[in-house]
Amino acid sequence: MGISKQSFHQKMERLNYKRIENSQLLLVIADVRKDHPTMCVRDMYYLLRPINIGRDAFEAFCSHQGLMSKRVTNFQRTTDSCGVIRFENLINNTPINTLNQVWQSDITYFEVAGKFYYLTFIMDAFSRRIIGYSVSKRLTTENTTLPALSMAIKLRQKQRLNISDVILHSDGGGQYYDTNFLSLTFNFGSNALVTGGVSPPG
Domains of the chain, first to last: 5-64 (no CATH), 102-192 (3.30.420.10)
Q: Confirm if 118 and 139 have CB atoms less than 8 A apart.
A: yes
pTM of the model: 0.65
pLDDT digits (tens, 9 = 90+) for 91-130: 887 889 999 999 999 988 888 887 888 899 999 999 999 9
Question: What are 142-147's contacts with CB under 8 Å, separation 24+?
Answer: 142/180, 143/118, 144/24, 144/107, 144/118, 144/120, 144/175, 145/105, 145/107, 145/120, 145/175, 145/176, 145/178, 145/181, 146/180, 146/181, 146/184, 147/120
The pLDDT, as a whole number, for residue 69 is 67
Identify each DSSP E strand in the chain by its residue range: 102-112, 115-124, 130-136, 167-169, 191-192
Least confident among 74-78, 85-89, 165-169 = 74-78
